[in-house]
Amino acid sequence: MTGLMKNYKETLKDTPQPILLSQMENSIDLKALFSYAKANNMKVSELSETDKKKFVRARCLL
């Protein structure tokens, strides 16, 4: 068990810190993205990068 805990703690050191929502520069309209994929009888993963980029928007920073 000691070896597993050591490996776990080492991987935690390499794990990057989470990105806060306030630090994100873009947002994605997921509802529209999934609706678009469904309307085209495709999975989101099957959409082209061009199609996916249609749903990325710059965040408004107030």
CA 21/CA 59 separation, integer angstroms: 10
User: Mapped to the 3 state alphabet, what secondary structure does the chain carry?
Assistant: CHHHHHHHHHHHHHCCCCCCHHHCCEEECHHHHHHHHHHCCCCHHHCCHHHHHCCEEECCCC
pLDDT tens-digit profile of 4-57? 888 998 998 889 899 998 888 898 999 999 999 999 999 999 999 999 999 998
- Beta bridge partner(s), residue 16: none
What are the structural domain ranges in the chain?
18-62
CA 54/CA 47 separation, integer angstroms: 11
pTM passes above 0.75: no
